[in-house]
Structure formats: C-alpha cells, structure tokens
Structure 1
C-alpha cells in the first residue's frame, strides 16, 4: 500500500469540535502556557521510554541521550518542539489526538459558564494540554514514530483545529515526536528565540531532561567569520524534588505543581521532605485548590508520580496514599525500591507500606497546619475535598483522631449552611454538665436545621451538628467519639440528656406517661404495621410527633439512599414519639370515634415522616385524610 493510500482524513468528535472552538476563541487569557503544556508532554514521553527501556534497552535505538529540542523559524512563523521519547504509532495518534478528555468531555462542556477565568481553570482538570497549541496556532503538524518500530511506521498528523484532522503513514528515521505550530499572524511574538527562552525559564526550568535550543551568536565584527550556532541547554535540567528546599523558590514549586498535575490553578499548599534512615526517599506533595471532574469516579487511575533512583516508574502510583487522600498530587522518589519493580511487587513491598504510613501522616499534618494557620485557605480546601476526607475515619482507624480534628460541620450555633465548625470548637462551647456531642442527619441542610428532633436542644441551648452530605451517616457510623466524648444521633434510641434534664423535666415526663398511657396503646394498635413502638417524648416542644429509629438500626437517611441504589434491606420500623403538650395530641386523646382516630393517627405519622424529609408510601391517602379532616372542621 502506498503512503498516499494510507492517508486518512477523519473527523473530531462533535464535542471535541465544540471544545476546540471554545479553547481557541475564548477560554485562555494567558496564551503563553501552550509551551509549558507541550514541553510537559514531551517530558512525560521521555519518562515512559526510560521505564520501558528498563526491560528492553533496545528501545533506545542506540540513542540514550534524551532531550527536548525547541526551534523557531521566523520567516515561516513556526515553532517546533521535538523529543526523542516513546513516540506514538498510528492507533495511538488516532486515540490520543482525535479525542479530548475521553471520559469526561460532555461533563466538561456542561460546566463551562462563559466566565473566562473560571473556565480556563477547568481545562487543567480534563487533561487537554496538547490542544492548547491551537490557542496560538492556525495549524498544527505532528510527526511521530513509536520506539522499537521501523522507520516506515512513522505517522503524520495535521489539523487546523476545526472539524477534521489528517493522518498518514510516513518514514521517520528517529523515534519520538515532533510538533510544529504554524502561528497565527497576530501571535508572531512567539516566533522569537529570546521569548521562548524566557518562557522555558519561567514555566519549565524544573524539567529533569535538557531543553535544547540553538544559540544566537553575536553578529561578527568586520572581517571576522560568523560563529556557528551551537546547541545550548536552556533549563536547569535537575529534578526539582532532588534539590534542597532552600534552593527552590515559591514560584518554582508552583510551576512544578502545574507540571505534575496539569492544573492551571495554584496549589493551596505543599510539603517537600527528604527521609534518610531505614528508608531513603524524597516526597513533594501538593494540595490542589479545585477538585478534578472525576474525583468521585473510584475507577479513575490516580496517585503520585513514582521515581526509583530518579528513574520514572509509574505515573499514577496509588499505593502510597489511602483512597480518602486521592486528591493529593506530587512526586515520590525512593532509593529503596527495585528498579524493575512491577505493580504487583509494589503492592506487596513492606517498604511501600512503611512509606504509605509516613506519607499519610505528612499529608494530615500539612492539612492541620493549613487549618490552624490559614483558615480561609482551609475553607477553600474543605469546600472542594471535605466530602472525600469524610471517608477517612472509616478507612484509616490509626489516624481517626487526626482526621476528626480536620472535619468541618454546619451546626445550630449559627444555622449557616457553610461547614465551618470543628469538633474541637464544638467541645469548647459545650454546656456545663454536657458530656455528649449531638448531631442530626437529614437529606439537606434546611431539613436538618428544621428537624423536630432539635426542639428540646434549642430550648436548652445545646448545640447540634447539622449533617446533610450523603457520606455523613456513614461517617458517623465510624466516628463514635471525639475527645473521650460520645457522639450521639439525636434521632436514634431514647433521648437521655443526663444531668441536662432538670428534676422538673423528669417528673413531668413520668406524669405524662401515666396520663396518656391509654392513648399510647391506642396509637400502637392503629399504627401497628408502621411503627414498632409509641412512647411519650421529651424531645419536642413545638411538633406533635417525630420518628425515631433504634439505637443500633440504620438511620432513615441512609436507608433511603440504600433503597434508592437498589439495595434490598431487612424490614425496620421506626418508633413514634408524641408530644403530649401539643394541642393535636391532646385532641387525639379526647377522640372517641375510632375511624376519625385512625385517620388522625395516620396523618400524625405521615407528617412526622415528611418532617424527616421522607416520602409517603401513599400520598393520595394522606391528601384524602387531610381533606376529610379540613371539611369536618369547616362544618
């Protein structure tokens, strides 16, 4: 088959066309970052070749000196970035250059708002760095060949960033990838070697392989021969994490974060540490500002960049941090892991377990420091990653207390929806004689703060945590105490306020139980299919009744979530607690008509369920009973 016969013109996915158009015409306010993205991709290609060559050195093809070459042609108004890394074959080119954010383009487009700053930050979350070339280029050409394949298997890719791209087979003698950008006329400022050198120094000085450009000799004096341009390395070419902290500036740390994370926002904080002793390793860990779009997709590869003795091993090594810290970005470089380490061996390595323990502690200490010293930044972190951190107490028993101190909640202290109060702050505000931490779980914040279960707590001025995230009830099932104080769900079991109840309160409840004993028994008969018990309550001051689950039963909110997910659960009935001071309960106590009593009992049960944020099994019957009751009152 001839080269021409192998040429194909293919169409981008429809969503990709939309995204390219947005990127080119509106998203980027800082155009110069295109160079950083392309150089980072070239560096990644070299890292992948190093790793594969550990088992097959022939992939180097007699050229083990890895480098990135940057060149400019002012006359043609082009920039070329070339690497001798792993390269791509034809299928790789179609897969990677014809598809953007394969698993999330649709979600990405839904998040775009037209707000240039916000939208440009989203780009980094979707791994679309290559396409940033179209910010400054009217056309992009790629010539590439995968290491280990013959010269005749080279691939040429070309596109003008509109609806189509062209792929054809070419002959390429050297492995690796060469990208040529045909700059738009208005972007010719970038067709200048001094401009490119300054951008490399600004964004990519930390890249651990040399970035090479031709020198620009001074014009020769009269009668002298012109000096030939020479190759010059224009970056430090030293892995940033191997340098001393005192030698690395804040700007360098920030730019390195963008390199390892492909994020466009600055990190919130970072920690750079070298450990020497039984284990010898260096870590550089970052806390991002924004959550990636796939944070909740547990199947998405994630983790730290792993190097062993400065040789790249794995891009997403997830064995070094627990799942609840999956948002952490960074690098770990160890001298204590084998160079030919495979994923399976890595999972079983005792050194990995030790390093995971130490790195987890370091991240939690970093977050604690952020919370104590920069609360505004921590509030930003919590908004982005709080629900993920709430997975911690259930996954990491050893660090449960540390994680608990990092948790933030909404509370009745101010009824605000923002989760800004720590458990330590709650304990500091506890009343004299209070020895428990109280919380309520509901479907949303408004339902939580208006829960009838809070009525007695408001009356006594006792603070209650307001939980409304889906993970909250699961969290609390693993967080039973804090600071030696029991954490109690106010909607479970019989409420015991211990010394907070006065003798007068206790006496009033005992008298009510005697006075309304007949009513309680009557209600048990009327609601026997819906409740396991009916009892007089000390929880309520304004509502007629509330539903309470058993002390060790699954909460109503968790039960609804499990059932909505299709889980089959054993039958469980709540208890109905009644407020004997409420006029409706007193009216019910005087009711002599059995049919009317049963209707009113059903209404009270349904209202208690609605107040909990529940859904009625038979809304039509509830409406019919309410209409009948209203009509009777109107007579």
Structure 2
C-alpha cells in the first residue's frame, strides 16, 4: 500500500465532499478523461509516423455489472505506464492533460481538443464508489498495470492484464443509504441518460451494450389466433451524437435539422420562430446556437421560470441553464453556447472568471437584437406573432432598467395605432406624425375598443394627432421610464411621450385657453361648491380644454395615473397609493348649464348630487370602480324621479 501524502489526503477529502455538488457528474469526468486519453493517442499518430491507426479505431466504452455493483469506463487511448499511474493518480491535482496542453498547445486544432485542466476529475469517482480500480496499458508497451484505492489512506500498483492499449476505470459502487440510491448508476437507462445529458457531444463514440427487443419469426404451423412472440437481445450502440450541430456552419445544416434539435433538446412540440447561429473567432472564440420559440412557455411569467442557455466547454456540458448569458428581457431565448476559452473553476460546475462570460453575453445580446430587428423589418406578420407572446418582457426590460435599456429595446416595441388601425413601431408613429406635432400621445386601458371610445382619445384624434392605444399593465410604466423616443445621441429632437389622461396636453388654442379662463372666473362659486361636494376625492375641479362631446372626464396630476393606481392597488401596499384626481368639466356641454342653474338657485343638495353623478360617471368611463355603487344607483334614481 502506497500512502497518500498528508496534504493529498486532505485535498482528496475536500475533493469528495466539497468541490463537487452533484454526484452524477462523476461519469462526465471519467468520460472527459477517456476522451483526453484518446485525443493524446490520436495527436501522437499525427506527429509520429510509426503509429498507424485511424480515428475510427478510437472510442470509449461504458458498461455495468449489477451483481458486482461495478461501473466501468474504458477507452482505447494512449494508456499509462506504471510511473504514469503513480504520478497521475497517486498525486492529487497533478494534471497530465494540462502538461500535454502546455507542451503541444501550438499544435492543437479542431482535430485535438484536450479537456482536462486540474487533475481532479478522476477523484469525483469516490463520491459514488467505495473502491476504484484502474487498469491501463500504454501504447506500445508489453505489460499492463493496475492502480487501486478506496480513497482513504492510499493506493496500490501491481501488474495487471489488458490485451490492448488504453485504460479501464472500474468503480465499485457504495451501498445504498436512506438518502442516496447508487443503484441508479447500475441501470442501462441511468447511464444512457447521464451520457446524453453531459457527454452527448464528446468527439469520440461512447458505446454501450444495450438491450433491445425483436419479433420472432412466425412458425409455419401457427394458427389464425397466433400472437406474435418477441425476444430480448443485446447490441452495442453508440449513445452520443458526437458532432454538435452548433459547430456546423449554417449553410451545412437544414432548417429541419435545426427544428428537430430544438424540439428534442428543449422539449417543445412547436418549431422555433427564429434560429440564430453564431461562430465567433478571435480573442474570445465561441459557438452559439440560439432559438426564439414559436410560442411562449406556459410558465414564462411565473416566479418558477428559469432563464439561461446551456453552457458547454469543449463539447462537455458545464451548466444546463447559465443565467448570466441572457438579460431578463430575452429570457425566452433558448439555446447553447460552447467555448473552450472559458476559465472554469476546479469542479467545472461554475466559472472561475466572469469577464469572459460577460463578453460573450454582450455579443449574444446584440445578435438577438439584430435578428429581431431583421424579423420586424422583413417578416412583419411573424414578428407581430412573436411580439404578442414576448413583447411584455421587452417592455418590462425598459421599465426594470429605469430606461437604461430603451436604446436597444424601444425600436422593437409595437403598439396599436388608433389612427392607422394597426400595430406600429414608435419609429413608424413618429414618421407619420402631423406637421407641428411635438409629442407621442398614448392612452392606457383595458382594451382597444374601450380606449377608442374615450372622450379624450376622440379629442386628440380630432386634432389630427394619432394615439397609441396601450392595453398591457406594463405599458405606462415602460413609457414613464422611457420619457421620450428618438432624437440624436444627445437627445436633440426626441419626442416626449404623453399620456392623454394626465397632465396638460397643451392641445388647446390660445382662444380656447382664454375662453376657459373666462368661464372659470365667471363660475368661481360653482367650482368651489363642486370641490366641496367631492371633498378629498379630487384635488380640484376645472374647465376642460380637451373635451368635445363628453360632459366631464377624470384626469390626474403627479406621477400616478388612474391606470397606475388600478395596477398598484393590487399589491400589498395598494391602499396607500392614490392618484391626484382632477374633475374636468366641458363648459360647452348642456350639463354645464344645468350645473350653473342649480348653483344660481342656491340648491346645494342638487349641486352635490350632480357632482357625485358626474364624478362617478367619469370614473366608469375610465374603467375605474366607484366607491359606493349603491349610492350611485340611488342618485340616478333620485334624478329620474
């Protein structure tokens, strides 16, 4: 028995219990080591003419013995001598692969891609195994050697038997416990699943003997009631796909192949709406294959939804969903990113340095934006279908970033145009603006049909200006964060975004403003009485310069509009969030004359009745609930009596 050094024992204990968080990656690590061993031999065959072999002779084999509780990973690679076993497996964190890469780095290319870096992946075996035996025969050697350890005190090395060059790693699995079921790794399904999940794109074939079923020939004397008989048989099958589709040029892959990969790997029954293939070379090289789904997943807007792209390094899965690769507003994008330049941490489960990942994420974000812009400009019908599913997230991206992301995202937004009767971009709205128009006008409500009937929308349209009809709860928050749209890089020429139901739209002519001032002055007592009747429900009652055929409307002052109040009231602190409401009266409407008559006659009760009716009626038009529906109904009945 050769003892592990004291520091090696401590490191081994750390390896088994701390560095790896997921036991099932042991197979990924062993297959990666096997792939490295095969790569080394193939590399030598390219540089040493005395080594005669073809790539077809190289591969990896995985098998299990349920009775003996063993899992074996075999390769036909370079193999190890007795000294290699002692140096590579007896010294923890010594990486022969790292040395190989350092010595031959300039000569590596697409044909050779050494994965190993830290010399610790092998020891992940002890997370699931009570004993590990390694039998290896170096290429060209006459004898094989066996290394064995329980991962506690030390290891032994002795002569062994192996017919051909290569290495067998034989794991004797631990017994099951109440918490851990190691029998999972002693099934055909369990091992195939791990191979496909983590090592599907290792460049060499990973083979297993699998059980299949076939129908037996029908006996000649079988009657009409014969029931087909079947038998099980075993066959060696290549489990992994080897060549990842994302490393192939787009010109070499059909859309049908992309669609099939997407539906299989991302468990969707619909074809993707867009496929984006990226091959970047330079200071940071990576391959990416991205998909915009054809429909939104059912849980897209739930708290349980997890965004992210599958992250690979040298064809080996590192993370199933790397969140850092996508901003939240592109959380619907699915796909993979593969880069051999990433600096992984020792466990290969997370990244050591995030600067490279951030650089890739930034480039991917730009690529997605560019592709969506292309879709918007060249496939409008498809883009409108995409926006119906995912537009809310783009709007939320602007709001949640306090407008910082409006430059890349604002151009992707679509809104319904009241004037053009279709969905338009903000750029298309600006392009169609009337001469002299300085603002982009929008209205927010429950539906396009309802917004089209709003008095203030009709007024703005009557002035010759278009109104964007916004029906999603995030719309107004998005516009509030944006504040304006367009203009140059200094903001010159930008168009302010204005809600038609808030603030001063400044649509009235000078004559209309003068008339409103005169009416206000002449009816000062009436407006005072109306304000007293409504109390704290409104901040003031004024003459409207924006109404045409409606008797009254509710507008707001300050940052909170009626729609915002409606949405925010659904939260835990909703009762504390109130808009500053203003009751605007149409002085040209017959109702105003009725109000004046009641005021002139000194009938305070009737003035209060009219005030309540007009206020609640205006709220209903805005789609707001009224505080006391019973009282409102009684007031209507009282007026009719």
TM-score of the pair, normalised by structure 2: 0.64
> Are the aligned partners of 1:438 and 1:488 in contact in 2 as well (CA < 8 Å)?
yes
Q: 1:434 Cα deviation (Å)?
A: 0.2
Residue 446 of structure 1 aligns to a residue in which SS?
helix
Structure 1 counterpart of 2:312: 307
Aligned to 2:366: 361
In the alignment, which residue of structure 2 is the partner of 1:434?
A: 437
CA distance in 1, matches of 2:203, 2:385: 32
Change (3 A) 1:589 1:306: same
- Asked if 1:579 corresponds to 2:579, the answer is no
State which of 502, 521, 525 in structure 2 corresponds to 1:518.
Answer: 525
Q: Which residue of 2 aligns with 1:540?
A: 547
2:256 match: 251
Paired residue for 1:607, among 603, 606, 617?
617
Distance 2:204 2:278 in 1: 22
Partner of residue 451, structure 2 = 448
Q: How far 1:354 sits from its partner (Å)?
A: 2.0
Identify which of 402, 411, 414 aligns with 1:405.
Answer: 411
Superimposed CA distance per residue, residues 312-331 of structure 1 (whole angstroms, 9 cap, x where no aligned partner): 10111111111111100000
Classify 1:344/1:440 alpha carbon distance in 2 versus 1 (closer, same or farther; 3 Å): farther
Q: Unaligned 5+ residue runs, structure 2?
A: 1-21, 39-58, 64-70, 74-126, 131-171, 211-233, 487-493
Contact 1:206 1:235 in 2 (8 A): yes
For residue 391 of structure 1, give the secondary structure of its aligned residue in structure 2: helix
CA drift of 1:409 comes to: 0.8
Pairs within 5 Å for 1:332-481: 332-340=337-345, 346=351, 349-396=354-401, 397=403, 399-415=405-421, 420-481=423-484
| Residues 390 and 407 in structure 1, CA contact (< 8 A), matched pair in contact too | yes
Q: Is the 8 A contact 1:307 1:331 kept in 2?
A: yes
Q: Distance in 1 between matches of 2:465 and 2:640?
A: 37
The separation in 2 between residues aligned to 1:448 and 1:585, in whole angstroms, is 25
Taking a change above 3 Å as real, the CA distance of residues 209 and 612 of structure 1, as seen in their structure-2 partners, is farther
> What displacement does 1:297 show?
1.4
Contact 2:616–2:626 (Cα < 8 Å) also in 1: yes
Q: SS of the counterpart of 1:564?
A: coil
Per the alignment, residue 77 of structure 1 pairs with none
Matched residue of 2:569: which SS?
A: helix
The 3 A distance-change label for structure 1 pair 503 and 316 is: same
> Quick one: structure 1 residues 300 and 522, their matched pair in 2 at CA, closer, same or farther if it must change by over 3 Å?
same
Answer with 1 or 2: which has the greater Rg: 2
CA gap of 1:211–1:266, structure 2 versus 1, over 3 A, is: farther
**Which SS does the other structure have where 1:438 is aligned?**
strand
Change in CA separation of 1:258 and 1:606 when aligned onto 2, cut-off 3 Å: same
Tell me, yes or no, if the aligned pair for 2:442 and 2:498 is still in contact at 8 Å: yes
TM-score, with structure 1 as normaliser: 0.64
1:444 is displaced (CA, Å) by 3.2
* Separation in structure 1 between the aligned mates of residue 281 and residue 404 of structure 2, nearest angstrom: 24
Shift of 1:402: 2.6
Corresponding residue for 1:324? 329
Q: Provide, for residues 58-110 of structure 1, a one-character-per-residue CA deviation record: whole Å limited to 9, x for no partner.
A: 999x99966799xxxxxxxxxxxxx999xxxxxxxxxxxxxxxxxxxxxxxxx
Greater Cα shift, 487-496 or 393-402: 393-402
| Aligned counterparts, 1:36-435, within 5 A | 51-52=25-26, 148=129, 177=190, 210=205, 237-340=242-345, 346=351, 349-396=354-401, 397=403, 399-415=405-421, 420-435=423-438
Query: Per chain length, whose mean CA-contact separation is higher, i.e. which structure has more relative contact order (CA < 8 Å, sep 6+)?
Result: 1
Q: Please state whether the residue corresponding to 1:521 is helix, strand or coil.
A: helix
Q: Does 1:618 align with 2:628?
A: yes
Q: Closer, same or farther in 2 for the Cα pair 1:519/1:289, shift >3 Å? A: same
Cα distance in structure 1, aligned partners of 2:541 and 2:61: 77
For 1:436 and 1:67, locate their aligned partners in 2 and report how far apart those are by CA, in whole Å. Answer: 69
- Whether the 8 Å CA contact 1:306–1:331 is kept in 2: the answer is yes
**Measured at CA, do residues 370 and 542 of structure 1 come closer, stay the same or move farther in structure 2, by a change above 3 Å?**
same
The answer to which of 523-532 and 393-402 deviates more is 393-402
Give per-residue Cα distances to partners, 1:261-306, cap 9 Å, x unaligned. 1111111111111222232222111100011011011332221000
Cα distance 1:327–1:469, how it changes in 2: closer, same or farther (>3 A)?
A: same
Write the deviation string for residues 200-237 of structure 1: whole angstroms up to 9, x where unpaired: 9xxxx98977476999xxxxxxxxxxxxx995759862
Q: How far has the Cα of 1:436 moved from its partner?
A: 0.3
Is the Cα contact below 8 Å between 1:68 and 1:210 reproduced in 2? no
Partner Cα separation in structure 2 for residue 437 and residue 54 of structure 1:
56
Q: Who is 1:509 aligned against?
A: 516
1:492 and 2:502 aligned: yes
Indicate conservation of the 8 Å contact 1:84/1:177, yes or no: no
Q: Distance in 2 between matches of 1:328 and 1:84?
A: 38
Change (3 A) 1:571 1:50: closer
Q: 1:581 to 1:474 in 2, by over 3 A?
A: same
Does the C-alpha gap of structure 1 residues 173 and 512 become closer, same or farther in structure 2, counting only changes over 3 Å? closer
SS class of match (1:316): strand
Matches of 1:250 and 1:571, distance apart in 2: 53
Q: Do structure 1's residue 594 and structure 2's residue 604 form an aligned pair?
A: yes
Between the aligned partners of 1:68 and 1:380, the Cα distance in structure 2 is 46
Q: How many residues of Structure 1 are paired with residues of Structure 2 in the alignment? A: 457
CA distance in 2, matches of 1:597, 1:269: 62
> Hey, what does 1:99 align to over in structure 2?
none
Indicate how the Cα distance of structure 1 residues 408 and 443 shifts in structure 2: closer, same or farther if over 3 A, else same: same
SS of 1:293's equivalent in the other structure is coil
Deviates more, 1:297-306 or 1:371-380: 297-306
Residues 128, 182 of structure 2: 8 Å contact kept: no
